[in-house]
Structure 1
Amino acid sequence: MLSNRPDIVSGGDALVQVIAPADVEASALRVSVDGRDVTSDFATRSDGRFYGLVTGLKVGANSVRADVAGKDAAVLTVTNFPIGGPVISGAQVKPWTCATKVAAPTATNPDLGEPLDEQCNIAAPVYRYQYRTLGGAFAVYNPDTPPAAGAIATITTDAGTTVPYIVRIERGVVNRGKYDLAYLAHPDDPKKEWRPWEASPSWNHKLFWKFGSGCEYGRAQVNPGSVLDDNALRRGFMVGSSELTQYGSHCNDVTSAETVIMLKEYITEKYGEIRYTMSDGGSGGAHQQNLHSANYPGLLQGIMPTQTFQDTWSVGREFADCGLLKRFYDVQDASAPGSYGQSDRTAISGHRYNQVCEGPANTNMASRTPFYMDPEIGAQGCGGQPGTWSLTNLGGIRCTLQDFNIAIFGPRDATGYARSPHDNTGVQYGLVGLNTGKVSAEKFVTLNEQVGGYDINGKWQPSRMVADPGAVEITHRSGRVAHARNLGNVAILDRRDFNIIEEHYDFRTWVIRNRLLKEFGDYGNQVIWRYKSNPPNLADRAFETMNQWLANVEADKSNKPLRAKILAAKPAAAVDSCWRADQGVWSTDATYCNVGADPSATSAVTGVGLDTLNTPTLDEWPVYRDTRVAAGEGLTSDIMKCQLKPMVRSDYLVSFTPLQWSRLQAVFPGGVCDYAKPGVAQEAPEPWQTFNGGPGGKPLGQVPVSARAL
């Protein structure tokens, strides 16, 4: 199989290669599918290989057989799934509204026609065109009435081919979602199609995927993100995007990975084999890149996250924490204004200051907490709709992260509500601040007494949160917390803007760094570029660095393990750096840039007393922490539910009064988090999980191979 794993083919097609014994002529080969002769679809191609596009595969198992009269035969079982999915993601969310018919088409929103079925499938993809003007902008191109050739820019790809800068954009539907594929049009004719063994010279056989930000629960088709990426297109890359890889409309990383898998197969079968795949995307786009690299190794070769979130669920713990902390402070302020000052809140949260958790910054975690936990609040066709869950409509659509991912977590009980892995049992909020003298014993005890938790409906409760049975196991075992075992086999270039004031703060990049360090003893495959103001040509510099990095890996034909190749292949620019805007240069001084695995949080301070505030100078690059690290967890920040240990006074570097100690024991009757141990059910997930057999996930196992026919 050249286009995908044989056990997860979709759409009824498969690009298949036959390798015959040395003494067998290709003309003697016969290929069949379930007894149907498909030999005419095969030929020895210009690269000397014998392969072809098998079509008409039925849904389910198909027996592909290659043989020569009087010789042994080989059989490969190919399992085909519908082009509308699912392939690995399990039961699809419903309802789902198709939007293929566009009443008023535009250059960016073409009409795909009426849907053929409830999967939103269409009769055929549609195409639109853009060209690059001499002034460096994209403009609509009509192949029937094109502009003068002299008005169109020309470009030389990284394969050395010079072509007119005309972009052909295909829009279709795969896995119920609209997708766009953009590429330099065939130089002979912009409308010309090509076959996988006769690709246009304008394509370098590389793919660049655009992952989108946000985290919402859409149940209707929307448009994919923009694929007009000049950095990729002018080098000859194909650029892809799907609405299902836009977290702002579809916050399910398994469906996102499934969509990339299906579209990479489609590209291979229609356009040709892909040499390697690069990707970018910020915030929710970073979630996806980290999770896909961790759980579906080989899907992406080089990732370029921005505004990094390490994954979705270990981050989700902190959104819950911040909602709880804000509520606690609001209650305190109502009864004892100013009792918890800025310095207290900073030490308790681990951040630069309370704004990161509480606001008033627009992008703070507490303001977003209900969007992930409250079933009555949501966006993108969920919250506010007539069918939304409420206390008077208990069977309605539940707008929570876990309910949108119920195919992964499964129902908790007869209510049908999805299991939740949220848990803060044993978490001692502000423990590090207490032991460093920044939070008083009384404030520490009061906070942990009153912080509470959320119930399954996102409503505050005085007791702590307890994960639903099986939910934590699923979160770790299925890979919803990005594990470094496979992240170590992908090239990572993180463009890390200096952010210490809101939810996209810096430390999340260092969480990935520490997960790599824990797994491999180094983090050599991750490069961090820090900057306080945008360096010139940042995106182009990053793209070229990653492209060269992967080209170097591709050129390494040695028997070294993939990770060793990645570490050895780094180009000169692939080094931890920070942009010195005052000097107009990139500094590679690791100490100055503060890029170690345990970066300093020290900076200049302004204010006095409870109002002190970390205020970094131009030459200071502090990295703060998160709420769980501030509660004593390690820098990998990856425990969904901690193991507990008895409370002992020697763990605290302060003295509690007998009453305070008694109150603290009442808060933690089962003990407190023991961060010297792994979390509950914390284990490395097996890769390539499928949820088609039901919630919880099951690894696909080894890629199926052909066997001698009996």
Structure 2
Amino acid sequence: MRLLKRSLLIAFALTLLLTALYATLHLYVRDKLKLNHSYPLVESMPADALRANLPAYQGLPPWQQQRPRDPFPFPIAFGDSGPAQALFAGDKQYPFMCQGLDSGLGQPLVDNQQGLGTPVYQQDDDGRLTRQIIGYSQDCLLPTRLHYFYSNQQQDWQRSDDQLPAAADDQQLLVRVESGTINRFIYALFIPTSRQDQREQPDLSRWNGKLIYHFKGAIGIGFQQGQARLKRILRDMRPALEKGYAIVYSSGNETDNHYNILLQEDTALRVKQQFISRYGRPEYTLGFGDSGGALQQYLLAQNRPGLIQGGVAIVAYPDMTSQILYGLDCPLLEYYFDHLAEDKTFWQSAANRNLISGLAYHPEFSARAQSIENATRLLRLEKPLQRRGATECNYSWRGTVQMVNNPRFNTHYARYSNTVQQQNYWTHWQDNRDVYGTDQDGRAPVPWSNQGVQYGLNAWKKGAISARQFFDINRKIGGWQPQQVFQPERYWLVSGASSLLDFSPYQTANFSHQGQAMTLAPRTPGNLAAARGAYLSGNVFQGRLTIPLIDVRVYRDDILDIHHSWAALSSRQRILDHNGENLYQSIWMAERNYKQIRWDAFTALEQWLDHDGGQPSGRALFAQDRCVDRHGQLIASGADVWHGNWNQQATGRCSQRFPFFQSSRQVAGDSAAASTLFCLRISIDHAIRSGLYQPLDVSDYRQQLLQTFPDGVCDYRQPDLASPQ
């Protein structure tokens, strides 16, 4: 009896402890995810927000179009709001989350009394929001305002609205900042000034006459205005402000908010026009930004020549669309390795997984959320998974592609009402419906296909995996379910799930095999019209580059960063494929501790433009390919430093120091350009006759190949079926 009581007390104490730990973890995660916010929700969206039966884009590519003359009377007057409807980028998107309060710029202007969008509240005499609703805002417009920011030597920025700060003096960096909305996004103009500045008579004596368009990154799927972090921009861009540069920014050119390149172009043109109308035409405009902010520079240089005259593209990808190729492969591959493989022990090794995914790996890292995954498996009385190391797939891409591809997954769900959550489709595809089109329900199709992809083909040809392993993965890998039957993710609070016990890094219900080993799991056919729309609309970087652009990065492949170095080679190969030579792109790379390389590249770009206006000859003088060490000391430079397997040349000194990885599609046979959305499929017999499997003799495997790929295999030697070229 005494033992029973003691056991019950221990059990009770453990229950209390676990409950307390769970509650603490619950509060911590909610705080990290900003679920405990007090911002007004997007309550509703217009009845016609979803547009059915839109065709995929079939028009001329943007570089062949003359954009319409803008009828808006720039500059926007102080106190007024800028245009809400884009000039040429399609209809306004709803729902649309207002973030003026997040940005420290106040509530949006009331634009309706029908309950559409976000409620706007009466303010008391102290500026605090009351509970009295005075109207609603679905377009999130803000009045144009003037601010001053000044900074001491410690770089702490202080803000004063509407008037010069009394505390600022001429020894401090004083910046005039204008904010407002253009195309519903928050824009900001930054220009160094002095105490002689006046609202309607700006003092331009400290402006050097040149402009930077500051593009920002991260991953977003639209349906939000975006938070404008003005102090962060001032902090990040201080070196340029100190040199006298003016800077323009828009939350519409921050990919944390959306990846609609047509809307980004429309917005950037208008923000730049607002600057010109207010302050005058700059001598030239430089692009500057990282990740998605660098990606925009590649695409805008291609799609709208003249918008910027040069760019510093930091940790760039060529574009968003082609990154999703291997991104959507990642969950399928990782689930196969963990659950479906015939030889699971072999695939426990991250190095072996790299043979198929191509992406970087680390033998001592752990997959993202692996501890939570194994803890929940134990609570469900399931055996923890065994892995040795981690790959870029399960360390960096886990969760990201679900956000892009799952119409029932929205990481900002806490900012929308349940009604809006259920009514909308939350995908990157939906954000770009004017590119990809929509079905009869207003849902955008997916331009991603893996039909005919021979996962691990090059690894098999090299003898790194066996024929048995090759056929096992290609029969079981499967694809993705149609969008209309997708189920919510099981990421606990990240996805709005109530129970931690349901946590899973996979959503097997969304795989075509639904988590089961099949004799031949269905692949995803994708939508060819949507993929062609991506090319025609300028959403795929096709190598068109006619301005100086320095692709600059610190090497982070060794820590499995999502910004892998081979993306620079992907862009380089596309430039070579299009032009036959590379005149304008330079690749600069540094060891991880030397972050100053972005400003070194900025200085080189200045010299290039100032010397000869950005002509190709300036590249060899100021910005030739190079790599540097952790102290910024040159390791090597020149035309051959990045040579390697990707271009069938002897490995250059920089490639030796900073080895490149590749993607799952390149391991399956695609080129270094890694841009094939829809491969041309050929029959197995044609593939054998044409030497696709050389140096392997696959005559003994013909029947297995026919059974595994009944609809043929990808011939990456042929052009992309989606490409208009």
Alpha carbons of structure 1 residues 529 and 203: separation in structure 2 relative to 1, 3 Å:
same
Distance 1:357 1:671 in 2: 37
What is the match of residue 299 of structure 1?
307
Secondary structure of 1:109's counterpart equals coil
What is the match of residue 492 of structure 1?
549
1:422-477 C-alpha deviation (Å, 9 max, x unpaired): 11111111111111111211111111111111123252113111122511211111
What is the match of residue 570 of structure 1?
619
What is the match of residue 403 of structure 2?
371
Output aligned runs, 1:395-544, within 5 Å. 396-411=423-438, 413-457=439-483, 459-461=510-512, 462-485=521-544, 487=545, 489-500=546-557, 501-535=560-594, 537-544=596-603
**Match status 1:208 vs 2:212:** yes
What is the match of residue 183 of structure 1?
191
Alpha carbons of structure 1 residues 638 and 567: separation in structure 2 relative to 1, 3 Å:
same
Distance 1:123 1:505 in 2: 38
What is the match of residue 702 of structure 2?
661
What is the match of residue 21 of structure 1?
none
Secondary structure of 2:345's counterpart equals coil
Residue number among 605, 615, 629 corresponding to 1:580 in the alignment: 629
Distance 2:450 2:366 in 1: 17
Alpha carbons of structure 1 residues 7 and 481: separation in structure 2 relative to 1, 3 Å:
closer
Deviation at 1:538, TM superposition (A): 2.8
1:508-565 C-alpha deviation (Å, 9 max, x unpaired): 01100111111222223111111123337433322222122222343xxxxxxxxxx5
TM-score, length-scaled by structure 2: 0.71
Deviation at 1:241, TM superposition (A): 1.4
Distance 2:673 2:294 in 1: 17
Which piece of structure 1 moves more, 663-672 or 81-90?
81-90
Deviation at 1:595, TM superposition (A): 5.1
Contact 1:97-1:220 at 8 Å conserved across structures: yes
Deviation at 1:651, TM superposition (A): 2.7
Residue number among 315, 323, 337 corresponding to 2:331 in the alignment: 323
Output aligned runs, 1:103-142, within 5 Å. 109-111=104-106, 114-116=109-111, 120=139, 124-135=143-154, 137-140=156-159
What is the match of residue 639 of structure 1?
676
Which piece of structure 1 moves more, 84-93 or 429-438?
84-93
**Match status 1:348 vs 2:356:** yes
Alpha carbons of structure 1 residues 584 and 181: separation in structure 2 relative to 1, 3 Å:
closer
Contact 1:377-1:383 at 8 Å conserved across structures: no
Contact 2:677-2:722 at 8 Å conserved across structures: no
What is the match of residue 691 of structure 1?
none
The one-letter code of the counterpart of 2:428 is L
Distance 2:681 2:427 in 1: 28
1:108-131 C-alpha deviation (Å, 9 max, x unpaired): 623376345656475741111122
Deviation at 1:190, TM superposition (A): 2.5
Distance 1:144 1:321 in 2: 54
- Runs of 5+ in structure 1 lacking a partner? 15-52, 56-80, 154-164, 555-564, 604-615, 685-710
TM-score, length-scaled by structure 1: 0.72
Alpha carbons of structure 1 residues 524 and 6: separation in structure 2 relative to 1, 3 Å:
closer
Alpha carbons of structure 1 residues 122 and 436: separation in structure 2 relative to 1, 3 Å:
closer
Contact 1:130-1:140 at 8 Å conserved across structures: yes
Distance 2:620 2:302 in 1: 23
The one-letter code of the counterpart of 2:167 is P
Deviation at 1:9, TM superposition (A): 3.9
Alpha carbons of structure 1 residues 223 and 383: separation in structure 2 relative to 1, 3 Å:
closer
Contact 1:375-1:398 at 8 Å conserved across structures: yes
What is the match of residue 162 of structure 1?
none
**Match status 1:223 vs 2:227:** yes
Deviation at 1:8, TM superposition (A): 3.0
Contact 1:576-1:595 at 8 Å conserved across structures: no
Residue number among 139, 147, 153 corresponding to 2:167 in the alignment: 147
What is the match of residue 66 of structure 1?
none
Distance 1:456 1:379 in 2: 21
Contact 2:142-2:180 at 8 Å conserved across structures: no
Secondary structure of 2:589's counterpart equals strand
Which piece of structure 1 moves more, 130-139 or 434-443?
130-139
**Match status 1:193 vs 2:200:** yes
Distance 2:272 2:632 in 1: 40
Deviation at 1:410, TM superposition (A): 1.3
Deviation at 1:253, TM superposition (A): 1.9
Secondary structure of 1:550's counterpart equals helix
Which piece of structure 1 moves more, 643-652 or 446-455?
643-652
Secondary structure of 2:346's counterpart equals coil
Distance 1:123 1:504 in 2: 34
**Match status 1:624 vs 2:631:** no
Output aligned runs, 1:253-264, within 5 Å. 253-264=261-272
Distance 2:284 2:589 in 1: 26
Distance 1:617 1:575 in 2: 13
What is the match of residue 280 of structure 1?
288
Distance 2:154 2:344 in 1: 62
Distance 1:179 1:496 in 2: 27
- Identity of aligned pairs, percent? 23
Contact 1:376-1:383 at 8 Å conserved across structures: no
Distance 1:145 1:584 in 2: 39
**Match status 1:670 vs 2:711:** yes
RMSD of aligned Cα (Å): 3.4
Alpha carbons of structure 1 residues 119 and 572: separation in structure 2 relative to 1, 3 Å:
farther
Which structure carries more strand by proportion? 1
Distance 2:415 2:152 in 1: 43
1:601-653 C-alpha deviation (Å, 9 max, x unpaired): 999xxxxxxxxxxxx99973211111111111111111110111122434323
Deviation at 1:224, TM superposition (A): 2.2
Distance 1:54 1:317 in 2: 41
What is the match of residue 78 of structure 1?
none
Distance 1:300 1:617 in 2: 29
Distance 2:82 2:424 in 1: 26
Secondary structure of 2:581's counterpart equals coil
Secondary structure of 1:319's counterpart equals helix
Which structure carries more helix by proportion? 2
Contact 2:549-2:584 at 8 Å conserved across structures: yes
Distance 1:476 1:268 in 2: 32
Secondary structure of 1:337's counterpart equals helix
Alpha carbons of structure 1 residues 536 and 398: separation in structure 2 relative to 1, 3 Å:
closer
Runs of 4 or more above 6 Å deviation: 354-358, 599-603, 616-619
The one-letter code of the counterpart of 1:149 is D
Contact 1:345-1:354 at 8 Å conserved across structures: no
Deviation at 1:144, TM superposition (A): 4.9
Distance 1:572 1:597 in 2: 27
The one-letter code of the counterpart of 1:110 is L
Secondary structure of 2:409's counterpart equals coil
What is the match of residue 37 of structure 1?
none
Contact 1:594-1:600 at 8 Å conserved across structures: no
Alpha carbons of structure 1 residues 302 and 330: separation in structure 2 relative to 1, 3 Å:
same
Secondary structure of 1:241's counterpart equals strand
What is the match of residue 310 of structure 1?
318
Which piece of structure 1 moves more, 124-133 or 236-245?
124-133
Which piece of structure 1 moves more, 334-343 or 511-520?
334-343
What is the match of residue 559 of structure 1?
none
Deviation at 1:205, TM superposition (A): 3.1
Distance 1:570 1:424 in 2: 39
The one-letter code of the counterpart of 1:588 is A
